[in-house]
Structure 1
Amino acid sequence: MATTESKKIYSGESWNPNLKAPLAQPGATAKVGEYVVGVNGKAIASGTNLYSYFEGTANQPTKIHLNSKPGLDGSRVIQVIPVANEGQLRTIDWVEGNRRKVDELSEGKLAYVYIPNTGQPGYTSFNRYYFAQQDKKRRRNRRAKQWRGFGSGLHGGHHGPRPAWLFQFPC
């Protein structure tokens, strides 16, 4: 029997009805470090891709067997509704990680504003990130600086979607 240990659980955005993280929904009490040992009553077989057990389950109630150790013995079952594509969850996790890192490194003086494009989604993202961080400490620098990822040292080589902007708020 093969199992997969959970290393990260995406939280999504609880305020956004279009971006739901399956393991962050009410009643889905999965924890980082638990093993996914089965899906819909089928044990995860050695040498198979975990994702193959989720084929055809997008937006359908699905039972996941979790355990603190490899194996079905003693496992517990939770019900989730898988998403068809986890790309948006990964992107939001990347953006929020960047926002937290900028806040931490600047000691709250800078805001991170992610702009995915120059169309409506970019405008929506700008409004969400810019106005939510207006209370940052003000600096006398009026420039906006384009920031193309943090480099491989901070997030395992994944540079994420581009472009992203780091703004310093004007006085």
Structure 2
Amino acid sequence: MKTAIFGAGCFWGVEAFFEKFEGVISTRVGFTGGHVENPTYEHVKTGETGHAEAVKIQYDPAVISYSELLNTFFEVHDPTTRNRQGLDIGHQYRSVIFYTDANQQYLAAEKIKELEEKAVFKLPIVTEIQEASIFYDAEEDHQKYLQKNGSVACGM
């Protein structure tokens, strides 16, 4: 198994999108990339922790590749809006790829370069590429949130 970690705005919808793919073994929503230990959802949503809402994906690379996950990442959100996805505004909703090894870092940079060269988006891509750090699971009521609660707007 391999791990991929993406921040693409509100983690509820991002998790629901990724978990439906064959080869994705499990997903967890949580927080990473910040400076506060053991953050809570309530603290992260203030924007004071430096963390991004993120989805940690365990996947089988024999079934789905990291490149395929990257393609999905760029389809599921708008990578041209800095610190914002829809109505959710703040650094915690930034577009960010947290790489776990040099190959993921390379593939992420190459994917952004490719999308920019092909002018896939009208505006420049602002997605950050950062080394993965400690991933803190969000509280259990946020895990599989849309499965438990139906289609609810993020940021509520």
User: Please, what TM-score do these two structures have when normalized by structure 2?
Assistant: 0.25
1 or 2 for the larger relative contact order (CA 8 Å, sep ≥6)?
A: 2
Q: Identify the structure with the greater helix proportion.
A: 2
Q: Identify the structure with the greater strand proportion.
A: 2
